[in-house]
Amino acid sequence: MARAAYTWSQNTQGTPPRLTASGHPDENSFDHEALVRHHGRTHTVRSRESSVTEVIAQLRQAHALLTQARQATLQADAAIAELRRNGIKISPEKVVHVGRHQDGYLVWLAEGRIDTSGKAHILRPNRRKFFEREAVPAARVVDLIFAGIERGRLIGHMVDKEVYEVDFDGTPRRQIAIFISPNGYIVTALPVT
C-alpha cells in the first residue's frame, strides 16, 4: 500500500509534525498551527494543547454566565416571593425584570400590553423612536430604566412620573421619566430631553 503524500508548511515557529507508522501526522507532535497538505487538499491543524486550552476557557466563561443567570433567577424568585408575601398580585412568567427602588421597595417590569403598560407599552413603535433619538437601542431600554430607579439621581417629577438623571453607557446625565404604580409595577417610561 502506498504511503499518503503529506507535505507541511509552517505558519509559525516550530518543527514539522512526526508521522505515525501509517504515514499520517501524529496529532501529539503539533505545538503550533500548521498547514498540512494531503492528497491535494490543504488542512489547518491546530495544536491539541491550544485547542484544549481554548475549550477550557470557553467552558469557564459559559460556567460564569450560567452562574450569573442562576443567581439572577434566584434573586428574582426571592423578590417575587417577597411581593406575594406583601399581598401583591404578580404573574412570574410575565415578569421581565425585578429591582429595588432607592427607597427600598421592590419594583418590577412585566411584558404588559402595547396599549396600556409594561415593556410592550414602553417599546411600542412610536415610543421606541424617542429612545433611539437619545441613542438608546431598544435592547438597552430596560437596563436604562432600572439604572435610573436603582442608582439615578431623582431630579424632579413630570406629572405622575419620577424623573431621574443617570450616567448610562458612557453618556453622563441621561434623563428618564418613569411612572411606577403604588404596588411597584413600572407602568411606563420615556426619555426626557
pLDDT score recorded for residue 100 = 92
Q: Is 103 inside any structural domain? A: yes
Question: Which cell goes with 90?
Answer: 404578580
* Residues whose CB is less than 8 angstroms from the CB of residue 71 and which lie 6 or more positions away in sequence, other chains included: none
Report the C-alpha gap between 126 and 129 in whole angstroms.
5
Q: Tell me: do 29 and 105 sit in the same domain.
A: no
CB atoms within 10 A of CB 34: 21
19 and 93 co-located in one domain: no
* Assigned domain for 83 exists: no
Domain count, the chain: 2
pTM of this prediction?
0.65
pLDDT at 147 over 70: yes
Tell me: the pLDDT tens digits for 14-25? 455 556 666 655
Is residue 125 one of the residues assigned to a domain?
Answer: yes
119 and 179 housed in the same domain: yes
pLDDT of residue 181: 95
In which band, very low, low, confident or very high, does the pLDDT at 146 lie, cut at 50, 70 and 90? very high
Alpha-helical (H) ranges within 98-172 are 118-122, 125-133, 141-151
31 domain-assigned? yes
Same structural domain, 188 and 94: yes
One domain, residues 182 and 97: yes
pLDDT at 57: 86
Q: What tens digit of pLDDT does each residue of 83-135 get?
A: 899 899 999 899 999 999 999 999 999 999 999 999 999 999 999 999 999 88
Ranges 1-5, 141-145, 160-164: which has the least confidence: 1-5
Cell numbers at 19, concatenated: 508521522
For residues 108 and 169, state if they share a domain: yes
Task: Identify the pLDDT of residue 165.
Answer: 94
Residue 59 domain-assigned? no
Residue 57 lies in a domain: no
Residue 56 placed within a domain: no
The answer on 113 and 20 residing in a single domain is no
- What pLDDT does 43 receive? 57
d(CA 159, CA 182): 15
Is residue 154 situated within a structural domain?
Answer: yes
Confidence at residue 185, expressed as pLDDT on a 0 to 100 scale: 96
Task: Report pLDDT digits (tens) over 43-93.
Answer: 555 555 567 788 888 889 988 888 888 888 888 888 889 989 989 999 989
Q: Residue 24 sits in which domain range? A: 6-46
